[in-house]
Amino acid sequence: MEKDDLDFVLVPLGLFVMAGYHAWLLYQIRHNPARTVVGMNAINRRFWVASMMETGVLAVQTLRNNIMASTLLASTAIMLSSMIAVLMTGGVTGHGGNTSSSTTTTNHHWSGITFGEGTKLRMTLKFFSITICFLVAFLMNVQSIRYFSHASMLINVPYKKITNFTSHHLTTAYVAATVNFGSYFWSLGLRAFYFSFPLFLWLFGAIPMFVSSVFLVFMLYFLDVTSDLGWVADVVSTDEETG
């Protein structure tokens, strides 16, 4: 198999490995949340919201910290996207040179760095893929800021003084869902940063991209899956009974 053909085999295979893992993780979160860190955190956030709506202690400060974290990631993502856009339009893909000789020199330079796989079309595709990851990270973190901002107001609603609601459990569940949505979008934005790492290594060839994809899946497995059951069964059963 020629080196140029590796992109058509290893790159889709690496993407399939990462997509397959996250499809499995989504299934576990939906059907067996106590096995995953994301599911356990979602359950704990529901109890935290209920407790904060009773006492109101540190709720706004905690949500403000989450907003600051999302803002930092969103700012980083849009900055990296802008930098890559400048590289794509300013010489890496051959559009920013004044002469054909400068274009040839730039392409030859990047071709040497990327082990002979730096043709204009491929380099454009690689940089565009990385840019898409960072733009997705930016959008996910913006949505996270949106939900956390709503939750910071909702969590301070004095529901005990409102007599129009027949049950305060509905309000608590709604606020908990809002907080969880903010956390889910934050996690998706962080995943987009993770996905950008194998795509960045794709600049150096299909083999580094595939190896990093497999390594990333193994690393995420140990970060996403929990075997510390403890009081999980009681928590899950109580959470299901309360809705």
Residues 32-64 pLDDT 10s: 988 899 999 999 998 888 888 777 566 777 888
Phi/psi region, residue 94 (left: phi>0; alpha: psi -120 to 50; beta: rest), is: left
The whole-angstrom separation of Cα 187 and Cα 193 is 10
**Total of domains in the chain:** 1
Q: Is the pLDDT of residue 228 over 80?
A: no
Residue 110 has what pLDDT? 47
Tracing tokens 């959008």 back to the chain, one arrives at 139
DSSP-assigned beta bridge partners for residue 77: none
Between helix 37-55 and helix 232-241 the angle, nearest 10°, is: 60
CB 230 within 8 A of CB 46: no
CB 10 within 8 A of CB 209: yes
- 10 Å CB burial of residue 241 (0-12, 13-18, 19+) is exposed
Q: How far is CA 243 from the centre of its chain?
A: 27
Which tens digits make up the pLDDT trace of 149-196?
988 888 877 666 665 555 555 578 888 999 999 999 999 999 999 999
Overall size of the chain counted in residues:
243
Q: How many CB atoms lie within 10 A of CB 221?
A: 12
Dihedral over Cα of 167, 59, 65, 149: its sign: positive
- Mean of the pLDDT values across residues 81-110? 59
Domain hosting 150: range is: 3-241
Residue 219 has what pLDDT? 93
Band of the pLDDT at 230, cuts 50, 70, 90? very low
Residue 147 has what pLDDT? 94
CA dihedral 151, 155, 158, 162 (to 10 degrees): 60
Tokens of 139: 């959008």
Phi/psi region, residue 92 (left: phi>0; alpha: psi -120 to 50; beta: rest), is: alpha
